[in-house]
C-alpha cells in the first residue's frame, strides 16, 4: 500500500485559541537536530531510494506531524476532564504511561479532573461507567514500580455508541486509549461514533503490544523489558539442555502473528540454535526438515536450544491430527486462539530422537505471563513517560483520531486508522531475520530449501 501525505494527516478538532502553559518555554527554543518545531514533519521513509521513488517535491513527500507541546492549544485546561483506559493483554509500562499522562496533564496543564475507567473498555459500558478511579498525581506517584495496570484490562467487544454515551455522561473531553491492535480499532470506532454525533471529544491512542506487532512505531513500549526478561528463560533452558543427556531445550514465547520477542530474545541470549516464528513456515520431516536439523545438533553438539514463538508452525497442527488454532476458535476480542505448537514440537522431537537412538532429556519452558507481567525497565520507563507527554500535548492541542508513536526515533502523530491498517511482522527478507540466521546458523528454511531457491547456512 503506497501512502500519500494526505493519508498521514491527523484530524484536528478546531483552531487552537488558548495559550499553552509551554508557550514561554517554547519561545526560547531553536529548531535543532533534537527539536523539531511545530510545523516540521518527520519522514515516513528513511532511505534515499525510497524517497527518490516518490518522484515528488519535498513538501509532498509522505511524512508525519511531529509530536510535542504547541504554543496554542485547543482546550481550555480549566474545563477539561480526561479519561484513561487500558485494554487487551498486559504489557510492561502500562502503569508508567498512566502515571505520565496524569502527571503531565495535571501538573502542567492543570486540568479539572482525570478519570480512570476500569477493566478495559468494559469500563465504558453503561453498567460500569460510574465505577471509575479518580486519578491524581498522588494516586499515581508510585504505580510505575509495578507491572500490570492499576486500571485493570479486559478483552471482549463493546458497543461504540454506548461508550460515547459514557463519555458524554461523565463529561469527558479527552479520552486516552492505551491498547494494542484491538484497542486501536476500538478507539477508531469510538472516534467515528463521536464524529457522527458532532461531539467535541478528542481520542488519542497510545499503542501497546507485547508482540511489537503494531505498525508505524519503531518498537512498542514494554517490548524491550519483555524480551530482556525472556532472555533469562532462554539462558536457563540452554544451561539445562547442555547438562542433560541429548538435551533439548525449548522456550515458547508470546507472538501470535509476529516473532519479534522470539527473535530479539534469541539474539540477546545468543544461545539458541533454532528460532521458529509465525512469519516463516517450517517442515518437521524430510532431510531438510526441523527434526533432521535437531538430530544433527544433538549428534554433533550434544544438545539443542529452540526458541519458539507461540504462533509458529500453526499449519503443522492439522497435518498431525491436532486441532489447529484450538478448533479455529477466537477469544472474546476475536483474536485467533492458537494451537499448542509447543506440545507438538516436544512430542515430535522426543519421538524422532528416541527412534534414532538419542532418547532426549527434554526441558520445556513457557514463561509467557512471567514475561509480560513485569514492571518496565529503565529504558521503557523513559519511553513510556515521553509517549505519555506526547499524548497529552496532542490531545490538548485538539488532535484526535490519532495515536502517538515513536517513528525513526522521533515522536509523531499517526492517524488511528493507519495503526490498524497492517500488522508489523518480522520481514523474512529483512535485516533482523538475517541477524537471527547469522547468529543461530539455522537454514533460511526448514524444508525443501533448494526447491525454493533458498540457501542453507549450516551450523555455528
Ligand X SMILES: Nc1ncnc2c1ncn2[C@@H]1O[C@H](COP(=O)(O)OP(=O)(O)OP(=O)(O)O)[C@@H](O)[C@H]1O
Ligand Y SMILES: O=P(O)(O)OC[C@H]1O[C@](O)(CO)[C@@H](O)[C@@H]1O
Q: Active-site residues: which are they?
A: 211
Toward ligand Y, which CB reaches closer, 18 or 227? 227
Grid coordinates given for 362: 527434554
Long-range contacts of 44-50 (CB under 8 A, 24+ apart): 44/3, 44/8, 44/407, 46/408
Residue 214 neighbours by CB distance under 10 Å: 27
Site string for ligand Y, 296-335 (x = CB under 6 A): --------------x--------------------x----
Among candidates 283, 340, 308, which has minimal Cα distance to 454?
A: 283
183 among the known binding-site residues? yes
Regarding 251 and contact with ligand Y (CB under 6 A), the answer is no
Q: At closest approach, how far in Å is the CB of 374 from ligand X?
A: 15
Rg of the chain over CA atoms, in angstroms? 24
Stretch that binds Mg ion, among 174-182, 236-244, 369-377, 395-403 (CB under 5 A): 174-182
Regarding 121 and contact with ligand X (CB under 6 A), the answer is yes
Alpha-carbon gap, residue 394 to 387, rounded angstroms: 10
Among candidates 175, 55, 164, 182, which has minimal Cα distance to 116?
A: 175
The residue assigned the cell 509480560 is 372
Residue 47 neighbours by CB distance under 10 Å: 9
Q: Which does 447 bind (CB under 5 to 8 A by kind): Mg ion, ligand X, ligand Y, none?
A: none
Regarding 386 and contact with ligand X (CB under 6 A), the answer is no
Regarding 439 and contact with ligand X (CB under 6 A), the answer is no
Stretch that binds ligand X, among 19-27, 73-81, 138-146, 330-338 (CB under 6 A): 330-338
Site string for ligand Y, 205-224 (x = CB under 6 A): ----xxx-------------
Stretch that binds Mg ion, among 95-103, 125-133, 177-185, 403-411 (CB under 5 A): 177-185
| Helix 160-169 vs helix 181-196: crossing angle, to nearest 10 | 70
Regarding 289 and contact with ligand X (CB under 6 A), the answer is no
Regarding 88 and contact with ligand Y (CB under 6 A), the answer is yes
Q: At closest approach, how far in Å is the CB of 308 from Mg ion?
A: 20
Q: Pick from 89, 183, 222, 313 the residue near ligand Y by CB under 6 A.
A: 89
Q: Pick from 68, 69, 83, 88 the residue near ligand X by CB under 6 A.
A: 88
Regarding 93 and contact with ligand X (CB under 6 A), the answer is no
Regarding 185 and contact with ligand X (CB under 6 A), the answer is yes
Among candidates 240, 233, 180, which has minimal Cα distance to 206?
A: 180
Alpha-carbon gap, residue 361 to 243, rounded angstroms: 9
Regarding 310 and contact with ligand X (CB under 6 A), the answer is no
**Using an 8 Å Cβ cutoff, are 134 and 115 in contact?**
yes
Residues 6+ apart with CB under 8 A from 355: none
Site string for ligand X, 189-228 (x = CB under 6 A): x-------------------x-------------------
Alpha-carbon gap, residue 281 to 123, rounded angstroms: 39
Regarding 342 and contact with ligand Y (CB under 6 A), the answer is no
Q: Pick from 77, 123, 148, 183 the residue near ligand X by CB under 6 A.
A: 183
Toward Mg ion, which CB reaches closer, 153 or 442? 153
Q: What proportions of the chain, in percent to the nearest 5, are helix, strand and coil?
A: 40, 15, 45
> Rounded to an integer, what is the distance from CA 399 to the centroid of its chain?
22
Among candidates 204, 271, 208, which has minimal Cα distance to 415?
A: 204
89 among the known binding-site residues? yes
Binding-site residue total for ligand Y (CB under 6 A)?
11
Alpha helices in 47-159 (DSSP H): 48-54, 94-103, 137-140
Q: At closest approach, how far in Å is the CB of 192 from ligand Y?
A: 24
- E-strand ranges in 119-268 read 133-134, 174-179, 202-207, 247-253
Among candidates 286, 276, 212, which has minimal Cα distance to 444?
A: 276
Regarding 297 and contact with ligand X (CB under 6 A), the answer is no
Regarding 373 and contact with ligand X (CB under 6 A), the answer is no
Regarding 254 and contact with ligand Y (CB under 6 A), the answer is yes
Q: Which residues are annotated as a binding site for ATP?
A: 89, 155-156, 180-183
Chain positions contacting ligand X, by CB under 6 A: 87-89, 120-121, 154-158, 179-183, 185-186, 189, 209, 333-335
Q: Which residues are annotated as a binding site for Mg(2+)?
A: 181
Chain positions contacting Mg ion, by CB under 5 A: 180-182
Chain positions contacting ligand Y, by CB under 6 A: 88-89, 180, 209-211, 254-256, 310, 331
Q: Which residues are annotated as a binding site for substrate?
A: 209-211, 254-256, 310, 369-372
Amino acid at each position: 500500500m503506497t501512502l500519500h501525505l494526505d493519508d498521514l494527516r491527523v484530524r484536528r478538532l478546531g483552531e487552537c485559541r488558548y495559550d499553552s502553559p509551554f508557550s514561554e518555554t517554547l519561545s526560547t527554543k531553536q529548531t535543532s537536530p533534537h527539536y523539531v518545531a511545530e510545523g516540521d514533519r518527520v519522514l515516513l521513509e528513511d532511505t534515499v531510494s525510497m524517497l527518490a521513488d516518490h518522484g515528488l517535491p519535498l513538501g509532498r513527500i509522505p511524512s508525519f506531524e511531529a509530536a510535542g507541546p504547541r504554543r496554542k492549544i485547543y482546550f481550555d485546561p480549566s474545563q477539561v476532564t480526561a479519561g484513561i483506559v487500558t485494554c487487551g493483554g498486559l504489557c510492561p509500562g502500562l502503569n508508567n504511561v498512566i502515571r505520565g499522562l496524569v502527571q503531565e496533564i495535571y501538573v502542567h496543564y492543570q486540568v479539572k479532573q482525570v478519570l480512570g475507567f476500569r477493566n478495559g473498555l468494559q469500563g465504558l459500558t453503561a453498567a460500569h461507567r460510574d465505577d471509575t478511579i479518580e486519578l491524581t498525581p498522588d494516586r499515581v506517584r508510585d504505580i510505575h514500580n509495578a507491572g500490570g495496570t492499576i486500571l485493570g484490562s479486559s478483552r471482549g467487544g463493546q458497543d461504540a455508541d454506548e461508550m460515547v454515551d459514557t463519555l458524554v455522561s461523565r463529561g469527558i473531553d479527552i479520552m486516552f486509549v492505551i491498547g494494542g491492535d484491538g484497542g486501536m480499532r476500538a478507539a477508531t470506532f469510538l472516534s467515528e461514533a463521536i464524529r457522527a454525533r458532532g461531539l467535541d471529544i478528542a481520542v488519542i491512542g497510545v499503542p501497546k503490544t507485547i508482540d511489537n506487532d503494531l505498525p508505524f512505531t519503531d518498537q512498542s513500549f514494554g517490548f524491550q523489558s519483555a524480551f530482556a526478561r525472556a532472555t533469562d528463560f532462554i539462558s536457563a533452558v540452554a544451561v539445562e539442555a547442555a547438562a542433560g543427556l541429548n538435551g533439548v531445550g525449548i522456550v515458547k514465547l508470546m507472538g501470535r502473528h509476529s516473532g519479534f520477542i522470539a527473535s530479539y530474545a534469541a539474539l540477546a541470549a545468543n544461545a539458541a540454535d533454532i528460532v521458529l516464528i509465525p512469519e516463516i513456515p517450517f517442515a518437521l520431516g524430510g532431510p531438510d526438515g526441523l527434526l533432521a536439523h535437531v538430530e544433527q545438533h544433538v549428534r554433533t553438539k550434544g544438545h539443542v536450544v529452540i526458541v519458539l514463538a507461540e504462533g509458529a508452525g500453526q499449519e503443522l497442527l492439522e497435518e498431525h491430527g491436532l486441532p489447529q488454532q484450538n478448533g479455529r476458535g477466537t477469544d472474546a476480542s476475536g483474536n485467533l486462539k492458537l494451537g499448542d505448537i509447543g506440545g507438538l514440537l516436544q512430542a515430535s522431537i522426543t519421538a524422532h530422537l528416541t527412534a534414532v537412538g538419542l532418547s532426549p532429556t527434554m526441558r520445556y519452558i513457557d514463561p509467557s505471563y512471567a514475561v509480560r507481567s513485569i514492571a518496565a525497565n529503565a529504558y521503557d520507563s523513559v519511553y513510556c513517560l515521553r509517549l505519555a507527554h506526547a499524548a497529552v500535548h496532542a490531545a490538548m492541542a485538539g488532535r484526535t483520531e490519532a495515536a502517538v508513536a515513536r517513528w525513526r526515533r522521533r515522536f509523531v502523530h499517526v492517524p488511528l486508522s493507519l495503526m490498524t491498517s497492517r500488522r508489523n511482522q518480522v520481514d523474512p527478507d529483512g535485516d533482523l531475520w538475517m541477524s537471527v540466521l547469522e547468529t543461530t546458523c539455522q537454514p533460511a528454511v526448514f524444508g525443501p530449501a533448494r526447491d525454493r531457491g533458498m540457501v542453507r547456512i549450516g551450523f555455528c
